[in-house]
Amino acid sequence: MDPWGIHAAGETARFIRTLSSVAVEPASRYYQDQRLIESLLAAARYLVRAQHADGAIDLHTTNFNSPPDTGFVVEHLALAYTLLQRQANENSMEIRRTLQTFMLRAGKTLSTGGIHTPNHRWVVCMALARLHTLFPDPAYLRRIDQWLAEKIDIDPDGQFHEKSSSIYSPLTDRCLITMARLLNREELFEPVRRNLDMTLYYLHADGEIVTEASQRQDQYRRGRIAVYYYPFRYMALKDQNGRYAALVRMMEESEVESITEALPYLQEDPGLQAKLPATQPLPENYSRVFTHSQLARIRRGQVSATVLAQNSSFFSFHKGSAALEAVRLAGAFFGKGQFKGDALQLKDGLFLLQQNLEGPYFQPLPVEQLRQEGNWSDSNRRLRPQSEIQRLHTQVSIAESDGRFELTFTIQGTENVPVAIELAFREGGRLQGVTGLADIDRGYLLEKGMGTYSYGEKEIEFGPGLADHRWTQLRGSLPKMNSLSVYLTGFTPFVYRLKIS
């Protein structure tokens, strides 16, 4: 059952995987517990009832008769089946038969069905690899080869297409590892290595992962490195990689509850319980540009920052667990003044982001473009001569020195355009030196001097203050972030230097 009280195949499959893991573990107090066996059988029978005639299941929050979501279910069930089969106890025989019935039916939809997203291809292939290992069928291999013929969607930075660093990247790593080891496809380990190497530079000092660049639902959400435990542990042992091993040890010390999700994988493959190689230092002092992702990462020990182009949240800053989750900029310019840097440039040690906007007015349509009906449509704007064209050029340059940052904002062109900078600090911290805005929930102005934000034992200093007006929710700007938002305001022509440390 899911959190909304709806019986769901995915949650049931996870339940089966978890209970199977506990039931077969001699060190568990529930080892071969008859109550677990009865619950497992009831859950397995439910899955068969919930399965469609074509072998697919529903993800009732969005996808129905879904081959890829069936793939997720098969992964859980194949793990459970493998663990139960190894013990081959008579009391689990009916469970295994029922799981086999479900999986063989699922194999039909996985061998022919479609997908929605890039990672779905590898979920389906991973599930088929597991099915082929348990119940060999050349149709499974043919379908895997069809999807693999499209090549793995990884760029030169080591980033998968969806850039989903806390959900779908670790999932893709796990899928590729599973295919590689079960099907002896050694070449599939290479994209995993590249993604893990990149991930070492997407890590904040406290174990959080950079998610700002994601194109999926984890964008701007807090994610932890624990989701990478399985791929990092597997590849640390396979490659005897000391940096991977260092991160695994860190997770085993600080992310214990989260990494228990990986227990069934360690039970399935006892080799994963081998001693890790000697630790090598993790990167903790660097400035690195990921060109294809239009992103730069800077790390100086406890201080970590991210610069992004093509993103309204173009800068973030972490000091331990204290987080300035986003810096955003907007101008009240024809309803389209939310700043997004066109491209990330590195020039003379500065990170540069720029944007050029135009705000034209439109003349009457030329005679030859007139229509009988009087309908107005946006499409006819391109046919109209333009006049009184207003222009706005914005540049943000970012300088760093020993973990201290200076952001210089320069906006030129049309004059007297109201401007607002938003500094979005993580909820749960404490602000000082700022003035509350009566009409904005958790909104503040920094009117003068320096402000501070503290979270736990860490403190971020920012400023100096600038408050030429009190309008912060500009027309055409994005809604305020779900944060403690401090604003700095002015008018064009606008030049302002923001210091963050």
Same domain for 276 and 178? yes
Same domain for 341 and 267? no
Whether 341 maps to a domain, the answer reads yes
Boundary (domain end) residue, out of 113, 143, 162:
113
Whether 392 maps to a domain, the answer reads yes
User: Which of these, 266, 258, 273, 156, lies nearest to 209 by C-alpha position?
Assistant: 258
Q: What is the pLDDT of residue 1?
A: 66
Q: What is the pLDDT of residue 87?
A: 86
Same domain for 333 and 416? yes
Dihedrals φ, ψ of 139, to 5°?
A: -65, -35
Whether 124 maps to a domain, the answer reads no
Q: CB atoms < 10 A from the CB of 26, how many?
A: 7
Whether 346 maps to a domain, the answer reads yes
Same domain for 299 and 393? yes
The reported pTM is 0.94
Same domain for 300 and 440? yes
Q: How far is CA 204 from CA 43, 199, 210, 222, 481, in A?
A: 40, 10, 7, 11, 21
Same domain for 16 and 105? yes
Could you report the average pLDDT of every consecutive run of 10 residues in the chain (501 residues)? 82 96 93 93 97 92 90 98 91 96 98 95 98 98 98 96 94 98 98 98 95 88 93 98 98 92 95 97 97 96 97 97 97 96 95 97 88 74 92 98 98 98 98 96 97 96 98 95 97 98 97
Same domain for 294 and 408? yes
Q: What is the pLDDT of residue 325?
A: 97
Q: What is the dihedral of CA 444, 450, 453, 454, to 10 degrees?
A: -150
Same domain for 395 and 445? yes
The domain in which residue 266 lies consists of: 151-282
Place of tokens 């693999």: 148
Same domain for 218 and 312? no
pLDDT digits (tens, 9 = 90+) for 227-259: 999 999 999 999 999 999 999 999 999 998 899
Whether 140 maps to a domain, the answer reads no
CA angle 91, 95, 100 (to 5 degrees): 135
pLDDT digits (tens, 9 = 90+) for 345-366: 999 999 999 999 999 999 998 8
Q: Residue 479 CA to chain centroid, in angstroms?
A: 21
Same domain for 298 and 443? yes
Q: How far is CA 99 from CA 40, 112, 132, 417, in A?
A: 10, 21, 15, 65
Q: What is the pLDDT of residue 109?
A: 97
Identify each DSSP E strand in 334-385 by its residue range.
345-347, 350-362
Whether 120 maps to a domain, the answer reads no
Q: What is the pLDDT of residue 7?
A: 82
> Distance between CA 77 and CA 20 in Å, rounded?
9
Same domain for 212 and 87? no
Whether 131 maps to a domain, the answer reads no
Whether 125 maps to a domain, the answer reads no
Same domain for 83 and 160? no
Q: What is the dihedral of CA 149, 153, 155, 160, to 10 degrees?
A: -160
Domain count, the chain: 3
Boundary (domain end) residue, out of 56, 88, 113:
113
